[in-house]
Homo-oligomer: A and B are copies of this chain.
C-alpha cells in the first residue's frame, strides 16, 4: 500500500539523522519499516558512486552484517527502485546494476557498450551540458505519453578501440 507523499521534500542531508533521517521519513511516509538491512544497504549505496550489482552490495554488506542474506538485498533493492530512491540499470551483461538517486547528481546517464567484449564505458560527462535540453524532452514526454520521467540512460552500442582493431566495418 504505497501512500502518496508530500511534494515538498525536506532537504536530504539536514534534520535528525542526516541522510538517514531523510530516508527513514521516506520509508515511513510510504508505509514501510526502516529496518537495519535497509539502512545498511542504503548506506552502502551512499558510500560509492559506482554502479553496484546485487552481489556487489551483498558482499559489501556482508562484511559488517554477515547475517544479511542475498534475498534481502534483492528485495530491498526492488523496494528502493519502487520508492524512487535507487535507479536500476541494465548493460546487457546478465546482471542488473544499482545506483543511489542523488538530487545533486545528474539523472542523465550515458554509456558506451561494446558489443564485442561487453565492456561498458561511462560517458556521463558527455551529457552534463545538455541538462536543459533533457529537461525539455522530459516535459514533452510527460505531456505526450502521460509518463513521469525519473531517470534516463542513453547507451551507445558499438565497438571499442580494442575490438575494432583490424575491422573495416
Instruction: Give chain A's interface residues, CB within 8 Å of chain B.
Output: 2, 4-7, 81-82, 84, 87-88, 90-92, 96, 112, 114-116, 121, 123, 126, 137-138, 140-141, 145-161, 164, 166-169
Contact = CB atoms under 8 A, between A and B. Distances in A.
A156 B147 contact: yes
Secondary structure of the A contact surface, majority rule: mixed
B159 A150 contact: yes
A151 B157 contact: yes
Contacts of A126: 137, 140-141
Of A115, A152, A157, the most chain B CB neighbours within 10 A belong to A157
A88 B112 contact: no
A159 B148 contact: yes
Contacts of A114: 147
Nearest to A30: B169
Nearest to A167: B4
B168 A7 contact: yes
Given A145-B160, A151-B157, 20 more contacts: A2-B167, A4-B167, A4-B169, A88-B157, A90-B91, A92-B96, A112-B141, A112-B145, A121-B145, A146-B161, A147-B159, A148-B159, A148-B164, A149-B157, A151-B156, A152-B154, A152-B155, A152-B156, A154-B155, A155-B155
